[in-house]
Amino acid sequence: MSARNVTVAMLLVLVVLGTWSFLNPAWELPPNIATYGHKIDNLYYQILWITGIAFLVTHLVLIYSLLRFGHKGEGTKAHYSHGHHHLETGWTVATGLMLLWVAVVQAQTWNEIKVQEPTAEDMFEVQVFAKQFEWNFRYKGADGQFGTSDDLYSTTELHVPKDRVVRLYLRSLDVLHSLFLINLRVKQDLVPGTTTRVWFNAMQTTDEARAKYGEKFDFEIACAELCGIGHHAMRGKVKVHSKESFAAWQKGRIAEQEEVDMSGVTNLWNGKPEGYSVSFWEYAGTIKPPRAEATH
Ligand SMILES: [Cu+2]
């Protein structure tokens, strides 16, 4: 088998595998439960179609060119070309137009989700504190304030109500992490030294999803930024509750927090890093956190 034929065979395998994975329903996105999710999915599939077709066309042209112009055995020469000006202009402009088209069609969705701040009055707010290698969540207590003694805390599991705008305030204590809530179509980096806000509105509770997809189904949390040796373990679950079930969770959590020793958790949020005059949470959100006054 000539080198040319081996190359053609390998390219054909690539084309078949590529097309198969592109059309395979097992690779579809997991169920969406965010109010704006269908817009993101729509963009995702449009871009997937563009890149899928471009992949197929360019590889078929490559195979054709190898067969047509390549070295065909003893006594023949491969055909060399110095290019074709019109052809090159054509595909450069076509690629440019595709990118321009993507830039235009995504603008409104991006603006709606990432630029405009949600204005709902009964917004549910949660602080998210990431560190190597866990997700920590803090909820307001009855006083409606963060950072007071009636705050509720959870680790690994994020509890939110259904049909309400949920706004998350994201901070990282150490390195870059990325909060990935696939069913809510949220993927957002957490950068030490700043606070990033994201929002969503869940249309389905965990119980409703379980009735549909099976007893063991959960909305997963993953870290989507390689953040160290334990990166793979930075997983969790979003528990979406109905109004009643959310109130029950809050009540249960208040009772639990009174029973167990919470000092480790409260120290993580409210304690101060050595040599600094602010809490870990404030420290994580400030580029130059204030140092404690030296005492002599
Ligand atoms: Cu991480």
CATH number for the domain harbouring residue 261: 2.60.40.420
| In a shared domain, residues 147 and 92 | no
| In a shared domain, residues 111 and 153 | no
Q: Could you read off the pLDDT tens digit of each residue along the chain, which spans 296 residues?
A: 778 888 899 999 999 998 898 888 887 889 999 999 999 999 999 998 888 898 999 999 999 988 888 877 778 888 888 888 998 999 999 999 999 999 999 999 999 999 988 888 889 999 999 999 999 999 999 899 998 989 999 999 999 999 999 999 999 999 999 999 999 999 999 999 999 999 999 999 999 999 999 999 999 999 999 999 999 999 999 999 999 999 999 999 999 999 999 999 999 999 999 999 999 999 999 999 988 876 65
| In a shared domain, residues 235 and 91 | no
Q: How many domains does the chain have?
A: 2
Ligand 1: centre distance to CA 294 (Å): 34
Ligand 1: centre distance to CA 234 (Å): 6
Query: Hey, what are 284's tokens?
Result: 């994580």
| In a shared domain, residues 91 and 54 | yes
- Owner of token pair 């405009």: 116
| In a shared domain, residues 106 and 132 | no
Ligand 1: centre distance to CA 225 (Å): 6
Query: Hey, what are 192's tokens?
Result: 């030490």
Ligand 1: centre distance to CA 142 (Å): 31
* Residues in the 5 Å CB sphere of ion ligand 1: 177, 223, 227, 234
- Owner of token pair 């373990």: 233
Ligand 1: centre distance to CA 114 (Å): 22
Q: Does 290 reside within a domain? A: no
Helix and strand element counts for the chain (H, E): 7, 10
Ligand 1: centre distance to CA 179 (Å): 8
| In a shared domain, residues 148 and 204 | yes
Can you give the residue range of the structural domain that contains 253? Answer: 124-284
Q: Does 296 reside within a domain? A: no
| CA dihedral (89, 94, 95, 100) positive or negative | positive
| In a shared domain, residues 40 and 151 | no
Ligand 1: centre distance to CA 174 (Å): 10
| In a shared domain, residues 47 and 166 | no
| In a shared domain, residues 129 and 108 | no
Ligand 1: centre distance to CA 177 (Å): 4
| In a shared domain, residues 132 and 272 | yes
Contacts of 100 (CB under 8 A, 6+ apart): none
Ligand 1: centre distance to CA 184 (Å): 18
Q: Is residue 153 within 8 Å of residue 139, measured between CB atoms? A: yes
| In a shared domain, residues 261 and 166 | yes
Q: Does 295 reside within a domain? A: no
Ligand 1: centre distance to CA 188 (Å): 11
Whole-prediction pTM: 0.86
- Say what the pLDDT of residue 294 is: 65
Report strand pairing: 236-241 vs 219-223: antiparallel
Ligand 1: centre distance to CA 117 (Å): 26
Q: Does 185 reside within a domain? A: yes
Q: Does 77 reside within a domain? A: no
- Say what the pLDDT of residue 238 is: 97
Ligand 1: centre distance to CA 193 (Å): 16
| In a shared domain, residues 50 and 131 | no
Q: Does 78 reside within a domain? A: no
Q: Does 293 reside within a domain? A: no
- Say what the pLDDT of residue 121 is: 84
Q: Does 167 reside within a domain? A: yes
Q: Is residue 210 within 8 Å of residue 245, measured between CB atoms? A: no
**Closest residue by Cα to residue 150 from 253, 239, 241:** 253
